[in-house]
Amino acid sequence: MASSNNDNSGAAIVMVLFMLAAYMLLIIAAIFVSAMAILFTVLSIMAWRQPIRFVNDTITPQEAHAFVRRGLMGAWIAPLLIGVGGLAIEIAINWDYVLFYIWGGYCAGSVGMVLLLGEQSDPGRPLVEYLPPQPEPSSRSAPQSLPAPPREPFRFASWDDGER
């Protein structure tokens, strides 16, 4: 009769399923960010010379230039950092995937920086939107307010207020 109380196969299966789910989420996020990079790059090329409206926002040429510039900087910096990091920690980098490194750098530089900076990336846009002052209502159209009733002067409470 062989009994084993330290059987960890159930925990191993749970760990493998967890890692598989995390890997799938990473792939889905990479596909989503790649699609966003392609869409916004096409919109940036369309807005290269004149502003365009997309959904409820306007893409200006300055924003388009900044988006593509950050993407191109990321496309150069990512493979450089991968190479330098590989040399620093002495691991072999598979340079067959250099196009993926470049594309990942473009996505991180363009879409990643837009997500990090948000609305702060446009220095010409005010952080608070001010509304113009509303015109004062004319005295003819405003209803006459009644005078306030006279108020009783304030007095402090005393211990025998309930008995009166």
Q: Answer yes or no: is 133 within a domain.
A: no
Distance separating alpha carbons of residues 17 and 20, to the nearest angstrom: 5
Per-residue pLDDT for the chain (164 aa), expressed as one digit of tens each?
555 666 788 888 999 999 999 999 999 999 999 999 999 999 999 999 999 998 888 889 999 999 999 999 999 999 999 999 999 999 999 999 999 999 999 999 999 888 888 755 455 555 456 667 777 766 565 566 777 778 888 777 777 766 65
Q: Answer yes or no: is 72 within a domain.
A: yes
Domain count, the chain: 1
Q: Answer yes or no: is 131 within a domain.
A: no
Find the domain containing 60 and state its range. 16-121
Q: Answer yes or no: is 55 within a domain.
A: yes
Q: Answer yes or no: is 148 within a domain.
A: no
3-state secondary structure of 62: helix
Q: Answer yes or no: is 41 within a domain.
A: yes
Global pTM value: 0.63
Specify burial of residue 37 (Cβ count, 10 A radius: 0-12, 13-18, 19+).
buried
